[in-house]
Chain A
Amino acid sequence: DAGVIQSPRHEVTEMGQEVTLRCKPISGHNSLFWYRQTMMRGLELLIYFNNNVPIDDSGMPEDRFSAKMPNASFSTLKIQPSEPRDSAVYFCASRGGRSYNEQFFGPGTRLTVL
C-alpha cells in the first residue's frame, strides 16, 4: 500500500497567488482529514470528509480556504489569495471504517508564502 500521497511536497509562492494542495487517501478509506501545523498553533484540524461529504469545516480559518473531495480517491485544499501567515505544513490523513479512528498521515506539504 502506498499510503497517503500528498503533492506537492514543497510549495513556495508569492502573496496573493492561488495555491492548491492535493491528497490521495489510502484506497478503501472513507474519511479524509486536512490539518495545518505551525510552531505557534501546533496541529489544527481544518476540515474532514466522510464518504466525500464535508462533515466539519469549523477549523477552516477563513473564506480564502476551500476544500473539495470530488471522489473517494482525491481531495484538494485551495487557498486563494494566499498570505504569508498561511505558511505552514499541511497534512492530509485518511481513516478506514473499522480502525477505531486511527488516522494515517501523509508526508505533508510545506507551504511558504512570501
Chain B
Amino acid sequence: AQSVTQLGSHVSVSEGALVLLRCNYSSSVPPYLFWYVQYPNQGLQLLLKYTTGATLVKGINGFEAEFKKSETSFHLTKPSAHMSDAAEYFCAVSAPMEYGNKLVFGAGTILRVKS
C-alpha cells in the first residue's frame, strides 16, 4: 500500500533562510510524486511533480524537490524563504498502474516565515 509521511506538522523559518520540508513515501512500484501548496482559504495548487527522468525537479516560486529512490524521499526545498511562502504544503504520491487514479496525501506541513 502507498503511504506518505511528512515530518513536522509545523516548520518555522526566518525570511531569507533555507526552507526544507520533508516527505517520505512508501510504494511497491515506481511512484509519481507531487508537492501541492495551499494558501489560506484557497484550494490546493500544484508546486511541482516528479514523473520520470531527472530526479531534481523545479517548480513554481523557486521551489525544487529531489526524488531519492534509495531513501524513498521527496523533500521540498527553497534557498531563500519569502513572507509569501507562508502556507500549508502537502506531499502526495500515486502509482497509476497499480492503484488507479488516486493520490495519497501526507498530513501537511504548515510553513511559517518570520520577518
Contacts and interface: CB of A to CB of B under 8 A. Distances in A.
B101 A107 contact: no
Contacts of A31: 101
Interface in B7-51: 32, 34, 36, 41-46, 49, 51
Interface string A48-73: 10100001100000000000000000
Interface residues of B, number: 21
Interface residues of A, number: 23
A45 B92 CA distance: 13
26 contacts: A4-B43, A31-B101, A42-B105, A42-B108, A43-B90, A43-B105, A48-B101, A55-B101, A56-B102, A91-B44, A93-B43, A95-B101, A100-B94, A101-B32, A101-B94, A101-B96, A101-B101, A101-B102, A101-B103, A102-B46, A103-B44, A103-B103, A105-B36, A105-B43, A108-B42, A110-B41
